[in-house]
Amino acid sequence: MDRLDKTLAGNHYPGRGVLWCRTGDGDLLGAYFLTGRSRASQARTLHRTPEGTLTVAPSEASAHDHLRHYVAARQSGHRLVFGNGEQVAAVADRLDSGEHPALALDGLDYEPDPPIFTPRLTVVADGRGSGPAWFGAARHSAGARAETNRLTLRVDGLEPGEGVLMTTYRSDGQEIATGDPFTEVRVDAGNRADLLTALWSALPAGLRIAAAVFSPGGLAEADIRQADGRQADPADG
């Protein structure tokens, strides 16, 4: 199992990513990050809203694009939902209506953005400490088939220093492809502040947009770092 920073540093363009891990101090934490190459992708911020969500928004409100701008993290009862697109709100709504996480993650599709067809990545994490985390990935086939490949992964019993990572893309610096289904990683961070620092430092410097670390029930206290070097104040929103 490779270290988180080594895994990310070896990926020249990870795109967007989700992480669920347990740090050295025993905390179960989620993390979400964005990298981007185009001007439109770079012109985004990750911020808290008065409604208690984390939202990826355009730098200019008039530039809204439903593929680039969305609720990235939302609480549903004792469960935390986070991911890379508008499916986060849909999954949270399903959980609110009583659906099991595995069913709430079903029926999602990859993004309609050929030729890469970005996967939709979603995590549903139980905030009660002993409960599982569910990862969902809606992916395009490696061939010409248009039907969505849907992966659901249940993760239980993470020990301190263990985590599971999904990224939308992987790149060797030349070619860009859909990211691996999931990667188990070793997390050397001792606490949430160390985790955000390690995550941010491992992302490609010229492509970084934003990253956040948060706990179930604690989105209002999420630690956020933006590409301009600003760390969001807990009162942002």
Whose tokens are 């590409």? That residue is: 227
| DSSP, res 96 | H
Look at residue 235 and tell me if it is in a domain: no
pLDDT of residue 41: 86
Examine the pLDDT at 97 and tell me if it is beyond 90: yes
Residue 6 backbone phi and psi in degrees, to 5:
-70, -40
CATH classification at residue 218: 3.60.20.20
Q: What is the pLDDT of residues 45-64, one digit of tens each?
A: 999 988 889 999 887 766 66
pLDDT of residue 233: 41
Look at residue 232 and tell me if it is in a domain: no
| DSSP, res 237 | -
Domain extent for 88: 4-226
Tell me how many domains the chain contains: 1
Look at residue 126 and tell me if it is in a domain: yes
Mean pLDDT of all residues in 198-223: 95
Look at residue 176 and tell me if it is in a domain: yes
Closest CA to 52 of 212, 211, 235: 235
Look at residue 63 and tell me if it is in a domain: yes
What lies within 8 Å, CB to CB, of 80 at 6+ separation is 30, 73, 74, 123, 124, 125, 127, 214, 215, 216, 217, 219
Look at residue 11 and tell me if it is in a domain: yes
Look at residue 198 and tell me if it is in a domain: yes
DSSP assignment of 152-171 equals EEEE--PPTTEEEEEESEEE
pLDDT band at 236 (very low <50, low <70, confident <90, very high): very low
Look at residue 231 and tell me if it is in a domain: no
pLDDT of residue 63: 62
Examine the pLDDT at 235 and tell me if it is beyond 80: no
pLDDT of residue 234: 39
Q: What is the pLDDT of residues 164-190, one digit of tens each?
A: 999 999 999 999 999 999 999 999 999
